Amino acid sequence: MIRLDDTDRAPSQTRVVVAMSGGVDSSVVAALYAQAGYDVVGVTLQLYDHGEAMHHRPGACCAGQDIYDARTVAEKLGIPHYVLDYESRFRHAVIERFADAYAAGETPIPCVDCNRTVKFRDLLETARDLGADILATGHYVASRTMEGGRRGLFRPLDENRDQSYFLYATTQAQIDMLRFPLGETTKPEVRALAESFGLKVADKPDSQDICFVPNGHYTAIVEKLRPEAAEPGEIVHLDGRVLGRHAGVMRFTIGQRKGLGIAASEPLYVVGIDAARRQVVVGPRAALGVSAIRIDEVNWLGEETLDEAAARERELYVKVRSSRAPVPGHLAPAEGGGVEVRLHGTEEGVAPGQACVFYEDGEAGTRMLGGGVIRRKVAPFTTLTRDAEMMARSA
């Protein structure tokens, strides 16, 4: 049973703005609220030029077809539907930041930036202007009221669809107005509901690509906006040997093994990217192990302040990639100020620009406590020489 809301107001007196992407998930959310008698308004965001988007391959999101699908669903449900032109906001807050990150040798997560700015800041404000009591989306994350009256975000029932990693930057004020009805259900159940509502998007494939990247080739966008990211440079081993040349730091990420374009007698991985020197640093797998992570742009959702949590070295679990299970660690004050996460073990492939997301524990359905952007990693280097250690730290 999908729970829609826990307010004490009658559905007919509660206006719900649903962010409709044109996919099956948000369409079902709109249908559920409409069926239950809520005052529903559908909103779809135009994020970039849709003439170009029509040429994107299947699996890309937010394209012109998606706007058409959202409008068709709204007509089927008999609810008003608006398309908002957010192209300039999206370009500034997401696309340009995406290019900046690659030019700096980082690996960005544009979906996090989109949720943090365009969707849960700008769209939320628009929802308020429309008189909304609630902004609902089709994300797979659970939202419910906790003891004391605050709302919290929790990992969903369907762990294979868990999108909490991409929502770590959602603030408490935003959480209080947001609703995520699909957190307590599964994708097959959602598709079955779409069929029962007679929605043509019931069998529509899930979006897989970055929505603004034509044909999945992100390097074309980065090179156009930040040409310095495509400048050639050296591929350097941790021990100082120059092993080859590359065609731009934007083509690499920490942990990458394939596509390095070099020959070696042992498996080598990208362990560091020095954008200023245009160097890609490679080394053995042992050099990928990370024991501590320096983070910034932290969004903290715990009861105490972030500084208090770090000072008492609060235990928690963290995800450093969306597809990985949470692992144990604790917060701690970072040298020179700020916060870092100290892992109880080691993680591989921790890339600057990615997110480090906090959870109360490692179990399904656990509460999310926020997170931050990975800026620097500290490896144990137990198998490396002192010279290699110094190079890796500088990388």
Q: Where are the beta strands (DSSP E) in 1-119?
A: 15-19, 39-46, 81-85
Angle between helices 64-77 and 24-35 (to 10 degrees): 20
Is 261 among the annotated ligand-binding positions?
Answer: no
196 carries a ligand binding annotation: no
Which residues lie below 8 Å from residue 148, measured CB to CB, with a gap of 6+?
Answer: none
CA atoms of 121 and 116, how far apart (whole Å): 7
- In whole angstroms, what is the distance from residue 158 CA to residue 180 CA? 13
Active-site residue, 61 included: no
Summary count for the chain: helices (H), strands (E): 12, 17
Q: Pick the catalytic residue: 61, 62, 211, 356? A: 211
DSSP designation for 174: H
Would you say 19 is a known binding-site residue?
A: yes
- 22 annotated among ligand-binding-site residues: yes
167 assigned ligand-binding residue: no
Q: Which helix (H) or strand (E) holds 355?
A: strand 355-359
211 a catalytic residue: yes
CA distances from 215 to 54, 111, 209, 212 (A): 11, 17, 8, 9
Q: Is 341 annotated as contributing to ligand binding? A: no
> Does 138 show up as a binding residue in the annotation?
yes
Report whether 21 belongs to an annotated binding site.
yes
Q: Which of 62, 111, 114, 356 is catalytic?
A: 114
Q: For residue 179, what are the β-bridge partners?
A: 136
Q: Is 20 annotated as a binding residue?
A: yes
Detail the residues annotated as belonging to a binding site for ATP.
Answer: 19-26, 45, 138
Q: Could you give the residue numbers annotated as active site?
A: 114, 211
